[in-house]
């Protein structure tokens, strides 16, 4: 009964709030990573994106007005990681705040000695537990990356904290995930310390949460790089996201 009611509500939203055809076409063309999707995947992406735009609230900060094309750009990138997972993975929060440019963020943390520190600095994006997601439009407009990164954090935090261990599917091993991710994280840190170029953004070496978010960016936007540098991480992501972006490249 509940499933039928939900399906009815979703069909009503899809019928009453369709994405403009021109806007949809332009949105797809602006994101090269979406060009690997086949017709069925694009159909499901459009459905997810329509529901996402209806369920989430976009707020412009600093005088910015979030135009429909801007909201669609963000929604398309946000929905790609959950294409085969479902919108429920974003159910814990509602608001997306879009700034014109980088914004000043303040964070408080306690070090190993119990001393409280306050860190202030410019950010281009943040994802908070239970929301909101904060984005710099100037950074989003530069291309693929930031949205994927911040929404990967929201998936990671579904287990209560951002630690590089999102809730895994029943057929996945937490131990194997931890082993693969830890080995790759340590290898990247070693490469950074030696001053070597690995092909992966050194920011991923910050901590396990950032490693998960950065490598998730690569999985969708530059799968060839992740597949080459950390093939076991790619394999785990393919199982977690239920997608295989490299398949399109290998079959081309």
Sequence ranges of the domains in the chain: 1-143, 163-252
Instruction: With cut-offs at 50, 70 and 90, classify the pLDDT of residue 106.
Output: low
Mean pLDDT of 212-229: 96
Burial label, 28 (beta-carbon count in 10 A; 0-12, 13-18, 19+): middle
Residues 147-163 have pLDDT tens digits of 999 999 999 999 888 89
Fold of the domain built from segment(s) 163-252: Collagenase (Catalytic Domain) (3.40.390)
pLDDT at 11: 76
Q: What does pTM read for this prediction? A: 0.89
Q: Is residue 233 scored above 70 in pLDDT?
A: yes
Q: Is residue 144 scored above 90 in pLDDT?
A: no
Instruction: With cut-offs at 50, 70 and 90, classify the pLDDT of residue 234.
Output: very high
Mean pLDDT of 28-41: 94
pLDDT at 250: 73
Instruction: With cut-offs at 50, 70 and 90, classify the pLDDT of residue 65.
Output: very high
The C-alpha angle with vertex 97 and arms to 221 and 69, in degrees rounded to 5, equals: 60
pLDDT at 17: 83
Supply the mean pLDDT for the chain. Answer: 89
Are the beta carbons of 135 and 96 closer than 8 angstroms?
yes
Are the beta carbons of 188 and 119 closer than 8 angstroms?
no
pLDDT at 241: 98
CA dihedral 239, 244, 247, 249 (to 10 degrees): -140
Helix pair 39-55, 2-16: axis angle to 10 deg: 90
pLDDT at 109: 46
Q: Is residue 119 scored above 70 in pLDDT?
A: no
Fold of the domain built from segment(s) 1-143: Cyclin A; domain 1 (1.10.472)
pLDDT at 158: 93
CA 41 to chain centre: 18
pLDDT at 111: 45
The residue ranking higher by pLDDT, 78 or 5, is: 78
């Amino acid at each position: 009964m509940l499933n039928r009611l939900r399906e009815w509500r979703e069909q009503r939203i899809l019928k009453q709030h369709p994405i403009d055809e021109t806007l949809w076409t332009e949105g797809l063309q602006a994101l090269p990573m979406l060009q690997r999707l086949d017709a069925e995947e694009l159909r499901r992406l459009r459905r997810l994106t329509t529901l996402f735009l209806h369920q989430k609230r976009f707020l412009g900060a600093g005088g910015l007005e979030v135009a429909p094309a801007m909201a669609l750009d963000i929604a398309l990138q946000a929905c790609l990681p959950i294409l085969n997972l479902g919108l429920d993975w974003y159910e814990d929060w509602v608001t997306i705040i879009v700034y014109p440019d980088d914004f000043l963020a303040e964070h408080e943390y306690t070090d190993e000695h119990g001393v409280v520190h306050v860190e202030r600095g410019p950010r281009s994006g943040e994802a908070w537990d239970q929301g909101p997601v904060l984005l710099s439009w100037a950074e989003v407009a530069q291309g693929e990356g930031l949205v994927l990164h911040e929404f990967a954090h929201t998936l990671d935090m579904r287990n209560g904290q951002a630690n590089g261990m999102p809730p895994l599917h029943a057929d996945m091993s937490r131990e194997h995930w931890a082993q693969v991710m830890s080995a790759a994280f340590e290898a990247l840190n070693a490469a950074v310390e030696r001053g070597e170029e690995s092909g992966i953004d050194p920011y991923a070496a910050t901590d396990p949460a950032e490693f998960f978010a950065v490598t998730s960016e690569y999985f969708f936007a530059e799968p060839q790089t992740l597949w080459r540098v950390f093939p076991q991480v790619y394999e785990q992501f393919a199982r977690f996201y239920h997608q295989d972006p490299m398949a399109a490249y290998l079959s081309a």
